[in-house]
Amino acid sequence: MSDATVNHAPTPDGRAPVLLVHGLWLHADSWGPWVERLTAAGRVVVAPRWPDEAATVAQARAEPARGGGHGIDSVVDHLAAVAASLGSRPVVVGHSFGGLVAQRMLAEGHARAAVAIDAAPVRGVVALPLSALRVASVALRRPAHWSGTVALTRAEFRYGFGNALPPAESDELFERWAIPSPGRPLFEDAATNLLPRSPARVDFDAQRGPLLLVAGLRDRTVPPSITRTTARLHRRASSAPTDLLEVDRGHSLTIDHGWGEVADAVLAWIEERVDTPALSL
C-alpha cells in the first residue's frame, strides 16, 4: 500500500470518501481487507500511514526507531493534509488511537462524519480500567519512550489485542501486522486530564457531523466503559448524531477473522447517516 492507498477520483454520485486511520502497533497495510471491501461497495478509500511510518511491516521492524517522537497533534496534522487532498471531506474511520484522531478531525472540520472503533480515551474520561492501564504501561514505564518507539511482545499483543481469539490466531496477527510505534501518544493521553490544552482533547461543543462509536465488549486495551463514557460526553454537549454500537469482540476486531462484520456495520452506518440526503452535511 502507498501512503494514501487506492484511488482519489470522486465517485460519480458524490458520496464522501473514506479515510482509514490505524492506531498504535499496527501498520497501515492492516486495513487492506477494508480497503477492498469498501472500494467494492463503490467508495473512494484511503489508508494513510502515520508520519514517518515505514512502507512495509518488514521495514518498520527493521528500523524500530522510525517514527519516534510523533505525538497526537503530529498525526492529526498529517492526516488532515491527506483529507484535504481528497477534494471532498471524508468519513474518517479510526481504530484505537486512530479513533481518537477521528474524533478530533471531525470536531476540527476535517471530516464529514467519523467512526471511532475502540477509541483511545479522550480528555474527560477519568476512570480507566486496570487492563487499559496495564497496556499503556508498556510505554509509560520507560521515560525514553516519550521521544522513541515501543514494541509489543507476542504475549503483550495477545493480552491487549488477541485475548478474545484462539492463541494461534493472535500469534498469526502479531506476525503479520505488529510494528513498533511512537510512545508519545500514550504519555499525552495519560496526562490528558491534567492539561487543559491536551492533544487528546476533543471539542465536544463543535459543530460537527454524525459520529459512530464502536465498543468491543471483550476489549482490554479500550474496555467498553471508556467508549460509553466518551459517548456520554459527546451527547451531553452536542445535538449532532452520536451513535453507539457494542460488539462481542476484543481489540483485534478490525483485523481478525470477524473484521468483515465490523466493516459491514460501519458501511451500513455511513450509508444511513451520511449518504442519506436528508442527513447529509
For residue range 194-224, list pLDDT tens digits in order: 888 999 999 999 999 999 999 999 999 999 9
Percentage of residues in the chain having pLDDT higher than 90: 82
| Cell numbers describing residue 20 | 482509514
Residue 277's pLDDT band (cuts 50, 70, 90): low
Tell me the pLDDT of the chain averaged across its residues.
92
Please give the residue that has the higher pLDDT: either 137 or 199: 199
CATH class of 18-279: alpha beta
Please give the residue that has the higher pLDDT: either 120 or 133: 120
> Mind listing the pLDDT tens digit for each residue in 178-202?
999 999 999 999 999 988 899 999 9
- Average the pLDDT over 4-12 and give the result: 44
Q: Is the pTM of this model over 0.85?
A: yes
- Average the pLDDT over 14-34 and give the result: 96
What pLDDT score does 138 carry? 83
- The span from the CA of 185 to the CA of 183, in Å, is 6
